[in-house]
Structure 1
Amino acid sequence: MSDQPLENVRLRPTLETLPAYVPGKPAADDGMTRYKVSSNESPFPPVDAVRDAVVASLDGAHRYPDASALELRAALGEKHGVDPSQIALSTGSVAVSGDLVRAVVGEGDEVVFAWRSFEAYPILVGSHGGVSVPVPVTASGEHDLEAMAAAITDRTRLVVLCTPNNPTGPSLSTEQVEEFLAQVPDHVVVALDEAYREFHDPATVLGTAGIFRRHGNVVLLRTFSKLQGLAGLRIGYAVAHPRLARALSQVTVPFGASVPAQAAALASLHPEVQEELARRAEWIRSERSRVLAALAAQGWALPASQGNFVYFPLGKDSPAFAEFADARGLALRAYGIEGVRATIAEQEANDLLVEIAGAWRER
C-alpha cells in the first residue's frame, strides 16, 4: 500500500466523544448451525406480494424515486387519518429521528430520553450539536416518567418515549403518556417511537391516534423494518402536525426513500398483506409468551417485554453470557455491562435460547 498523504482536515470536536453505533453481531460461518438473534430482524421474508412489487419496481430503478412519495404518503395518511402532507418519510425511523433532531434541536439544546433505550438516540443528538439527557430506566426496565418530567429544562427541545422500549421491552399505557404530557410544556416536542408497536398485545396497545389528535407537540415514529421485514430496504416515517411536518421535509435527505422501498412499503399496506402480517405478529407474540414462560420456570426474572425480543438484565455478566451463547450457536446483542437482548426469531432459535439460558443457570 502506498503512503497516505497527511490529513490536516478539521473535524467537529464533538465527534471525539460521540458514541459509535454497535450493530447486532452476525452469526459466524463456521459450519455450526447458528442463529442471529441480535438485531430484532423478522424471522420471515417479505410477503410474496411485497417481493413481487419490489421486483417490478426495478424496471424504473434508472429513474430517481418520487421525492414526494405521493402515493405512499396518501396511503399512510389514510391509515392514520391525517393529510398526506403530515407524513414524513426517510430511510428507516432512525433517519426520521435524525430529521427530527435537525428540525428542532440547536447547538446546546437538550433532548431527554430513557436509558437504556434505542442506542441511536445519543448518537443522533450529539452529532447534530445537541445535549443528551439520559434518564435511567427503573429496575424493571420501564421509563421513569416522573424523573423524565423533572429532567425537562428551559433548554429541552425534544423528549423521546420508546414504547415498547428497545432493548428492555416494557411499554407505556395511554394513561401514563397522557399524565406525562400534562407535565411537558407544549413547545417541547414529544416523539413516540413505536418501532415495535405491532408486536404489542392489541388489547392494551397505546392509544396513539387519540394522543396525537389531542396534543399539538406529539409526533409519531414508525418503521417498516420490523414486522414488515423490510429492514434491508430502509424505510420509515413520522406522523407530524403540519408545522413540524413541513420542517421535517426541509431537513430530510432528498430522494431518501428509494424506488424499491416505496414500492415495498405501499404493497405492505394492501389488505391481504396486512392479514398475513397480523398472523405473523400473533405468532411472534405467542412465541414470546412461550419463551418468557419457559425462562420464568428456570428462575429468570426478566422485564415484561411487548417487543419482538426479551432482555436479560445481567449486569457485569452480560459479556460472558453473550459469549456463552455464541459458543453454542446463538448470536445475541450485549449492551456493555448492563444486559443482553435476544430477538424472538425462528422456533429453533427460540428453543436454543431457552436451552442456553437454562444451561447458564445450571453452571
Structure 2
Amino acid sequence: MSAHIRPDLASIPAYTPGRSNPGAVKLASNETTLPPLPAAAKAIVAAAELSHRYPDNQSSELRAALAEFLGVDVANVAIGCGSVALCQELVQITCSSPQDEVLFAWRSFEAYPIVTQVGNATAVQVPLTGAHGHDPAYIHDLDAMAAAVTERTRLIFVCNPNNPTGTAVGRAELERFLDAVPAGVLVVLDEAYYEYMRLTPQSHPDGVEIGRHRPNVVVLRTFSKAYGLAGLRVGYAVGAPEVITALLKVHIPFSVNRVAQAAAIASLEARHELLERTDGVIAERERMRTALLAAGYQVPPSETNFVWLPLGARSPEFGEAAAAAGVLVRPYATDGVRVTIGDPHENELFIGFATEAGVVARFT
C-alpha cells in the first residue's frame, strides 16, 4: 500500500520550462544572454568559498540594500527563492480553503494557476483583451478583473508587464483598478520585467511608488531577468510590514542561498552598468518587432525582453518549424508563441526564419 498523497495534485500541471537543444539557438526561456555583471561574478566566487556555512535566513544585508535602493524601510522587504516562490507564499498567507479565490488574467504567467492549486485555493481567470476577437491588444482587462472580484477573492495577481504577451498597463489605469478593489483583497503587482519598461514618465507604472500608501498592494521584482541571475534564484517583495511579516512566517528556511544573496547585493551596487544592457535588449526587441510587422505578423507592443506572436491554433506548428530551422521558441498551447530577445545574431536567425516567404504564407 502506497502513502496517501493529496488526490487533487494529480490535476496540477507541471511547470514547463523552455526547451533546450544542443546546437540550437534558445529563445524559449526569458533569460538574458549576458552573464552576471562583473562585480556580481566576483561576489559569486567569493561567496562560493563560504558554501559550507548556512546563509543568512533573514537575508538581512540584501533586505537593507534593497530598502535603501527603493526608499522604503527594511520592514517593507522580503526575499524569496525567485519571485515565483514569493507567488506561492502569497497564496499561502491569504488562502486557507478551496472557497478562497485567486484572481488573475489569462493568458499570463503560467505559475499562477499552479501555485493557486498547490495552495488549495480556487483560480479565477479573466481573459485578456482580444481573447474573444475584439480589441486585440492582449493586455489585462482591468475592468473585467474588477468586476470578477467577489467576497471570496483573497488575492489578485497583475503581471505588469505581462508574461507571455509583453504588454503593460499604464499608471492611471492601474490606479483606477486598485481604487476599485476592496481594501481586504491583496493585490500583487508582479513586475519581473520592470527594468525593460520604457513607457513615458507620466504613464510609467512603478509599483513601489503606487503601493506606498496602499497597504493591500505588494510588488514583486526579481534579479533573474535584467540582472542576469536566473540560475541563482533570488527575487523580492515590497509591501506593508504586516504582509512582509506573514511572508517571513511561511518562508522555507535557508531557501535563498549565500551565493544568490551576495550576487544580488553586488548587482545593486553596480546597477549603473545595467542601463546599457537593457537598452541593447530594447533596441533588439524593437528591431525584431519591426521586421515581424513588416512581414505581416501581428505583434503587440512589448515592454519586456520578448515579443508575442498570437498565432492561435497554429502556435505548436510554428514552434516545431522554428525548431527545425535551429531556433527554439516557446509556444503556449493554442494561444501564441513567445520569442525571447537574444544576441543580435540569434535574433537575426529567427527573423530570417520567420520572414522567409514560405513561413510567412503559412503563419500570417
TM-score if structure 2 supplies the norm length?
0.94
Distance 2:267 2:111 in 1: 26
Aligned to 1:17: 11
Distance 2:36 2:209 in 1: 30
Which residues in structure 2 correspond to 1:197-212 (within 5 Å)? 197-201=194-198, 203=200, 204-212=203-211
Distance 1:182 1:214 in 2: 12
Residues 138-178 of structure 1 deviation map (CA, whole Å, 9 limit, x = unaligned): 11210011111111111100001001100001101110111
1:157 equivalent among 154, 158, 174: 154
Residues 68-121 of structure 1 deviation map (CA, whole Å, 9 limit, x = unaligned): 111110010111221112211111000011111111111121000000000000
Q: Is the 8 A contact 1:224 1:235 kept in 2?
A: yes
Which residues in structure 2 correspond to 1:1-363 (within 5 Å)? 7-26=1-20, 28-29=21-22, 33-108=23-98, 109-139=100-130, 140-201=137-198, 203=200, 204-270=203-269, 273-359=270-356, 360-363=359-362
Aligned to 1:3: none
Deviation at 1:11, TM superposition (A): 1.1
Partner SS state of residue 180, structure 2: coil
Higher mean C-alpha displacement, 163-172 vs 352-361: 352-361
Query: Unaligned 5+ residue runs, structure 1?
Result: 1-6
Distance 2:192 2:206 in 1: 15
Q: Is the 8 A contact 1:197 1:205 kept in 2?
A: no
Distance 2:161 2:36 in 1: 23
Partner SS state of residue 331, structure 2: strand
Deviation at 1:19, TM superposition (A): 1.9
* Two-structure CA RMSD over aligned residues (Å): 1.1
Deviation at 1:309, TM superposition (A): 0.2
Distance 1:231 1:20 in 2: 19
Query: Unaligned 5+ residue runs, structure 2?
Result: 131-136
TM-score if structure 1 supplies the norm length?
0.95
Aligned to 1:4: none
Higher mean C-alpha displacement, 351-360 vs 144-153: 351-360
Distance 1:356 1:254 in 2: 46
Residues 194-226 of structure 1 deviation map (CA, whole Å, 9 limit, x = unaligned): 000101105343132331112110000011000
Aligned to 2:134: none
Q: Is the 8 A contact 2:192 2:220 kept in 1?
A: yes
Distance 2:231 2:156 in 1: 28
Distance 2:272 2:209 in 1: 24
Equivalent position amino acid for 1:107 in 2: S
Partner SS state of residue 66, structure 1: coil
Residues 213-252 of structure 1 deviation map (CA, whole Å, 9 limit, x = unaligned): 1211000001100011100011101011011110000001
Equivalent position amino acid for 1:46 in 2: P
Partner SS state of residue 42, structure 2: helix
